[in-house]
Amino acid sequence: MAMWQWGLLALGILWALQSLGVWYQMRHYSDVMKGITSKYNDGFVGAGNVRGRFGKGVIVLILVTPDLAVQRFLVMSGRSVFAKFKRREEFEGSSLNALRTDPVMTGLGEPNVAKAAERAIEQIDKARAEPKRPGLIGIKPVNA
């Protein structure tokens, strides 16, 4: 085989490995989300992310009760597809408003975690503002 054919073969193998890694990470994310929603059936869940160009990417999941107490605070941070969610128990049990003003969440400690948590809190606020309707929320009916 010519050199360019070996290069194409290597590129194809690397692409397949990347696809497998993305599938593995998406499966982990969906398993965590299913576990959270099955264990806690009341309250609100917010998910926020920050993509890292050259640094670490971060995903934050925040689960709050109907009275806005933080039940779970999960952070997935890393450069590889093998990153896992880790509980941050220091934030659990506090109120959502206390979380907004926490110095760590204002970016003093980890700015990417703070930004992802801010986006997760925005999702929770948006979900709380929507009126309760029967059926699935977020699906728009087709006008006939």
Rounded CA separation 62/46 (Å): 5
pLDDT at site 41: 77
Which tens digits make up the pLDDT trace of 64-118?
Answer: 888 888 888 999 887 777 788 888 888 888 888 888 887 666 666 778 888 888 8
Q: Which CATH architecture has domain 3-129?
A: Alpha-Beta Complex (3.90)
Question: Chain-centre distance of CA 114, in angstroms?
Answer: 13
What pLDDT score does 135 carry? 47
The predicted-structure confidence for 18-44, as pLDDT tens digits, reads as follows: 899 889 888 988 888 888 878 877 888
b/e per residue 93-129 (b: at least 16 CB within 10 A): eeebeebeebeebeeeebebbbbbbbbbbeebeeeee
d(CA 54, CA 114): 18
Q: Give the Cα separation of 88 and 30 in Å (integer).
A: 19
Q: What is the pLDDT of residues 119-140, one digit of tens each?
A: 999 888 888 887 665 544 444 5
State pTM to two decimals.
0.74
Residue 105 and residue 111 in contact, taking contact as beta carbons nearer than 8 Å: no
Who has greater pLDDT, 141 or 51? Answer: 51
Q: Which run of H or E residues covers position 39?
A: helix 3-39
